[in-house]
Amino acid sequence: MAVSGDARHAVAIIGGATAGAEVAGSLARRGVETVVFEQNDRPYGKIEDGLPRWHVELRKKEYRLIDQKLSLPGVHFVPRTKIGRDIPFEELVKGWGFTGVILAVGAWRDRPLAVPGVDAYVGRGLVYQNPFIYWFNHSVEKGYDGPVFEILDDAIVVGGGLASIDVVKALQIETTRQALAARGIEEEVLTLEVEGIPDVLAKHGLAWEALGLQGCTLYYRRREEDMPLVEAPPGADAARLAKVAQGRRKILEKAMRKYLFKVCAQLAPKDVVVEGNRLVGLVFQRTRIQDGKIVEVPGETVEARGSMVVSSIGSVPEPLGSIPMKGELYCFTDWKLGRFENYEHVFSAGNVVTGKGNIVASRKHGAVIAAHVIERFLGLDSAGHAGEEAMAAPAREAARETAEVIAREITGRPPLPAATLSSIRERVRRRQNEIGYGDDYNAWIKQVTPPDMV
């Protein structure tokens, strides 16, 4: 374990992905020793498990950036260690003696679909986005032994944001790939994503109708032009807002043309449609938008049936120890540094603070991403995905900004007694031994990366 001889502070970072690595890098540059606890074998978080696997270059680039920071001297990586399960949160925060603890745990819990009784059908017609995309990304690995999902034609997707477009794309691409395979035509997911379904079919002299597929339908509770595919800058005037609305429509229409899914707007999920013990659809309440708010249109409901329902309505942080929560979100007293009452030396960075769970905070943190970058991200630009890396940059920059302030706070505190530092190092070494982690970050990553991982 590379330790910094003159370190005076040690900081625990929970979560080793974009935000955690960024904070570790900033602290390491200032001579602060960090211990990065990561629940998984690999530290790539949403980049590996949340972005569909066709973002090949973006993933590689982000992996490299994370690797660079987690292999710096003075950064101790502790994989396969979930705080709250393998080490109690309170013990880490109060018992280990760290100068500070940073939560960089992201947002991994699907926001529950607000339909009474619907969660009883998880696995029986209802699927949530996070496990679905995890499976989509990893199921192609020979050694994959996690939950398995069947991709069915004619699915209902509840959503409206960028992530839900990724979900409909995954469904459309995979059902098309399967329909082609049934005709003896092999096409790769990546080819269908890059070239689009109509162009790939045309190469084989086929039309969409000939496949006999219904395609999936995206249900959104607001208007199409409200879809948060492009963000409006803070304080935008009416002309700018109209332009944003036009940009959103353009992106949606392009996506529908390229991946052939349908959209039903101004419908909010309200009730289940059940046959036997399976969810076979949802009843939607028609809505209208009044002064930016969703208003139900009384008496107007629509029953929609489909092969499965995929809920893609956002992710929120998982509860952690006794961290105070307000509803689904952490109850921060300071949103900028992600601080809490009664935890004077705990801070937070990354999606756990800025995630879509809190759009206001996200905007406060973030640069607005240009529409052409979003088009590249969604595979709608003739340049393909080139340049989509800019999507991940604001999150990284926000984490770095937070890290710099935290670093100033930490380095201004009284130095840790030498005995506390060596006790922390000893505990870290013990845990690393328990999980079979040697002294070498890069060797570990090599060891735990499946050979067929995409």
Ligand X SMILES: Cc1cc2nc3c(=O)[nH]c(=O)nc-3n(C[C@H](O)[C@H](O)[C@H](O)COP(=O)(O)OP(=O)(O)OC[C@H]3O[C@@H](n4cnc5c(N)ncnc54)[C@H](O)[C@@H]3O)c2cc1C
Residue numbers at the binding site for ligand X (CB under 6 A): 14-20, 37-40, 43, 45-47, 51, 82-84, 104-106, 162, 320, 350-351, 354-356, 362, 377, 391-392, 395
Minimum gap (Å) between residue 56 Cβ and ligand X? 13
Q: With residue 309 as reference, give the H or E element that holds it.
A: strand 309-311
User: In angstroms, rounded to a whole number, what is the distance separating the alpha carbons of residues 449 and 433?
Assistant: 19
Residue number, 10 or 162, with CB nearest to ligand X: 162
| 143 in Cβ contact with 450 (< 8 Å) | yes
Minimum gap (Å) between residue 13 Cβ and ligand X? 9
Please report where in the chains the tokens 């935290």 appear, as a residue. Answer: 406
Residue number, 19 or 200, with CB nearest to ligand X: 19
Q: 403: Cβ–Cβ under 8 A, 6 or more apart, which residues?
A: 22, 23, 25, 26, 27, 349
Minimum gap (Å) between residue 210 Cβ and ligand X? 33
Minimum gap (Å) between residue 59 Cβ and ligand X? 9
E strand residue ranges, 209-257: 217-219
Residue number, 177 or 365, with CB nearest to ligand X: 365
Q: What is the largest CA-CA distance in the chain?
A: 74
User: In angstroms, rounded to a whole number, what is the distance separating the alpha carbons of residues 117 and 279?
Assistant: 11
What are the start-end ranges of the H helices in 324-392?
351-354, 359-365, 371-377
**Coil, strand or helix: which one is 61?**
helix
Residue type at position 389: E
Q: ∠ at Cα 424 (420, 427), nearest 5°?
A: 135
Residue number, 47 or 133, with CB nearest to ligand X: 47
Residue number, 271 or 401, with CB nearest to ligand X: 401
Minimum gap (Å) between residue 297 Cβ and ligand X? 29
Backbone dihedral angles phi then psi of residue 231, each to the nearest 5 degrees: -90, 145
What are the start-end ranges of the H helices in 30-85?
45-49, 56-70
Minimum gap (Å) between residue 242 Cβ and ligand X? 23
What are the start-end ranges of the H helices in 110-154?
129-138
User: In angstroms, rounded to a whole number, what is the distance separating the alpha carbons of residues 117 and 282?
Assistant: 12
Residue number, 63 or 121, with CB nearest to ligand X: 63
Residue number, 82 or 270, with CB nearest to ligand X: 82
DSSP 280: E
Which pair of tokens denotes residue 198?
A: 């109509």
Residue number, 20 or 247, with CB nearest to ligand X: 20
Residue number, 211 or 353, with CB nearest to ligand X: 353
Minimum gap (Å) between residue 16 Cβ and ligand X? 6
User: For residues 100-115, b (16+ Cβ closer than 10 Å) or e, as one string?
Assistant: bbbbbbbbbbbbebeb
